[in-house]
Structure 1
Amino acid sequence: MRLKRLFLGIMLSVGIVNIGAANYTPENVSISLKVPGNDAQHYSLTLQKQQDGVYTCQSSEQLPLVITRQVVDKDGKQRINVVITALDTVYFNYGEQIKTGYRHSDCQFYMPGFWYRQNLRSPEKAPSFHISDSWLVREDRLSTPLTAAFNSSKGKSMSVIRIDKFDKEALATHKEGEVIVSGETSIGYTGFENIGGMTVLSYGFPYKEAPKTYIRKLTLAPSVEAFQLLRKGDSITLTWELSEIDAADFSECVQRTWEYCYDTNRPQPVNTPYTVDRMKDVLSNFFVESYVNTTPTHYYSGVELKTATCASTDVAEVGFVGRTLLNAFNALEYGSQQNRPELVNSANSIFDTYLTNGFSPAGFFNEVVHYNRDFKEPNLSIRRQSEGVYAILNYLDYEKQHKRKHPEWEKRLKVILDSFLRLQNADGSFPRKFKDDFS
């Protein structure tokens, strides 16, 4: 194959590795070479042992780079260090798969902030097992760049976490297919895949997403794979850590894994020139600019908001996105502290109008009201109802501290709390959704 020096992209797909193997030797290694504007080409590689735990990747054809892999034990975990050195200017994407030894049907998965169990509660057009049982995602979609597979039959969990500074990012001209990033990025990928009925943990650098990329809420697009420039003579070091722990159930897996993430990354406060008081002052403008007082219940508008105009909408929502009652409590408390009567007045107006006009015939909060469309959401949710109750409890406690009483609000809350008891199932759980007639 003829390689073009300045426009060569490579994708390394290091084959399945067994974490339990004494020498940590990959079973299969392959490289995909890509010239921009052309499809990637695939080549088989072999690992040449240099010393214990250290290998170089060799191809039957000469390639313009040297790849060294080293695996070391670190506190009962395995730290993988990969060094890629360019013999000529190249573009690259590097990846590995780790064999867990878990049957895929026995596994639940955890990617912090993005994926829990099999994501089956996610909407239809969001990543979940409804669409595929194998997913690779950009690391910056997660709270921390980690994927864990929990095996319920064995009571074990295996995870892989990326170790880096994460201080660079670059754009690409396209959002799907094989793309070249415009500069340096710190963003790789992580995920899990079903290979022959067995779970593998997959990870690499720079990023790629498959079988779909989640470009925005409820919008899936074709897969993407990024390539980063590495100039002749330059090297890049990539580091991951593998860990396997015991866990009685998925909840313990999440708890222990998150603690491990925190201890590994050791997040620090972000230095900023803005003070807390300054930021509160700026954010309090929301209470002024979003306040709507021309409807039966007054509210702060935040649902279906268009960022181009930030104009108020006709949607009044209790809890979730709208959280108008909790916002009212925050406005009341902050307005009193800062001697801003306009905030206190708007907050009290919201509480007063919701007390009068904010309840259904059965005594639940009217969760979502579209005033211009003359529509009230008939399906109620335990989340919005409980968030509304939480807001009013905070409000009543605050008012009590200031020697003010609201017996009518207390009666309303007792009705809702009694209704919660009617909704509660025999096992102690609550229905996620229900109607005003308790069905």
Structure 2
Amino acid sequence: MIATSVAVMVLSYRHAAAQHEAVAQVHDRDKLVVLAESYFWREREAMNEYLLSSNVATLHEVGSFHASFDRVTSRLDAGTIGPRAGRNLELVETAHKRLLDEFLADRPAAGRGATAEDAVVSQLKVLEPTLLAPLRQLAPPDDREERARAATARDDSRRALIAAVFAGLLAIGGGVAFAIYSVRLVRRIRAQNEQLLALDRLKDDFVASVSHELRTPLTSIRGYLELVISGEVGQLSKEQERFLAIVDRNADRLLNVVGDLLFVSQVEAGVISLEKKPVELVGLLKESVDAVRPAAAAKGLAVELVADDIAEVEADRSRLAQVFDNLLSNAIKFTPEGGFVDIALMAEGGHAKILVSDTGMGISLTDQEQLFTRFFRTAAANEEAIQGTGLGLAIVKAIVEGHDGTITVESEVGMGTTFCVELPLGVREAVAA
């Protein structure tokens, strides 16, 4: 019986090692495919927006996302993924080039509303399956199941080891029945864990799919709203302008929620994309502070920024702005009238430290433990019926950690809250500090 227990131990660890080795070969390719599809949808949305608005900045976004897609797919080496996958990669590259050519041909229709939308539907949209079908074929077909098994392989092997040891000891003492029960218990726990993982993956897939499906029509809705509000299709009365402004605000809010859901899906898939460049933090913080001043003034809040003019970081400027905007808007949202919001920037130990403090309602110790969990809302936020999705701080944490930084919180109920973000300084600033 002891020999059998040892054999179970050895086999369990061999099984775990085999799972990890198999997944290592496909996991990176799966991440690249997910990232490529993300860039493709962002490129398509930028194309739609340009054809509706003729915005030059949006045209630059098309080029940027197109180049990012090409960079990602170039990392899928056709020589290492087999002849069939290599053929799919060629189809993807051909379809992507054709998509851009068709878009450039449609550019004269930009800003003409229905004409542009017809062009999108009849030409660009028809090309989407010719790219997406072979792109998705590049992902390992059973990778999701393999990743789930890899994530639990070590735990499974440890459980098998424990069960084997107990089985041996109990068999020596005559407890064969209990040894069998232990093994069955481990198997039942493993099955339950696999079921929970499958349900979690199904939820993530649903969120990502719905978000993609919502974003494109929302972009079109906002484009046409802009045309109507600008008066290009006829003069509006004051009441019509007021009603359309409400529609526009809520469409913008919904688009932001969809964007947050897509970003969270990317984080969960491990494919967060950051375009890092030298960023001067003082200017970025001033922009964020200026953006929230109207909301702060409406509540009678004082907002003050104190910054050392030395901090520069390697960062994705737009994502970092999202971090500051979120922290500041939360501070204003949860601070009662007549309160204070303070922002401080300093260099400390080779890092830029950003402190966002408020005199708001504060956060309990229990809530602080889950504060950066997606979809989590504090008890106070629910009691006061304060609007929010519970995604903001989860996104903030993901962006900060994507910059090799950290974020912490200190708070006391009724006294206020301070968030501390630390980011690595650029080389010159780190030496000077």
How high is the TM-score relative to the length of structure 1? 0.25
Structure with the higher helix share, 1 or 2: 2
Question: Could you state the TM-score of these two structures normalised by the residue count of structure 2?
Answer: 0.25
* Greater strand proportion: 1
